[in-house]
Amino acid sequence: MIGKLGGYIFVVVVFSLNLTTEAQTSPSEPDVIIGNWMMSDEEGIIKIFKEGENYSGKIIWMKEKEADGSPLKDRENPDESLRERTVEGLKVMTGFKYLGDGVWGNGEFYAAKKGKTVEPDFILEDKNHLNIEISMFIFSLSIELTRVDASKFLLQKNDEY
């Protein structure tokens, strides 16, 4: 009787481990980055979405406004012809690929407030915390993003968000 019980327990354990392994290697794992992410100090929200096999993002809300109350402009852009476009709605993240182990990279990120394009890694700390890790020469910078319900910050409902 113990032999049959031991065999049954072994089968249950092996089956459970197989399910756990399949869940961990699920092809949807890279999609966990999709959603709305609040920048540090609640200065803005980036919506991350999938485009083909890559991940992109755009700014859907900014706290800072122009002096007249209008949406913030891309004033630091190195291309003078783009300096009057608004930052809200601006695609700032393109071409990111899932590299494994909670890291997305090989894409470009445009930091509108600095007018600079960088190639950071996005590192998922947990399902609600994402870090942008920027390294240039001997300097590095980490920007923490927190998953957020963007509807609390948007004045108008818009299916795009």
- pLDDT 10s digits, 74-101: 999 999 999 999 999 999 999 999 999 9
Mean pLDDT of the chain, nearest integer: 84
Banded pLDDT at 2 (limits 50, 70, 90): low
Q: Is the pTM of this model over 0.85?
A: no
pLDDT at 154: 78
What is the average pLDDT across 48-71? 96
- pLDDT at residue 155 in the model: 61
Both structure tokens of 153: 């910050």
Q: Burial, 122: exposed, middle or buried (Cβ in 10 Å; 0-12, 13-18, 19+)?
A: buried
The answer on 55 and 22 residing in a single domain is no
Q: Do residues 75 and 12 both lie within one domain?
A: no
Q: How many domains does the chain have?
A: 2
Other residues' Cβ atoms within 10 Å of the Cβ of residue 112? 21
Spatial separation of the C-alpha atoms in residues 26 and 3, rounded to whole Å: 35
Give the pLDDT band (50/70/90) at residue 111.
very high
85 shares a domain with 16: no
Any domain includes 11: yes
- pLDDT above 90: residue 1: no
Expressed as residue numbers, the domain containing 4 is 1-29
42 in the same domain as 25: no
Same domain flag for 13 and 76: no
Query: Is residue 37's pLDDT more than 60?
Result: yes
Domain-embedded: residue 157 = no
Residues paired with 65 in a beta bridge = 71
**Does residue 9 share a domain with residue 40?**
no
Does 68 reside within a domain? yes
Is the pLDDT higher at 34 or at 151? Answer: 34
At residue 137 the predicted structure's pLDDT band, cuts being 50, 70 and 90, is confident
Same domain, 127 and 59: yes
Q: Which residue has the higher pLDDT, 21 or 141?
A: 141
In a domain? residue 161: no
Residue 10 shares a structural domain with residue 39 = no
Tell me, yes or no, whether 64 and 125 share the same domain.
Answer: yes
1 shares its domain with 56 = no
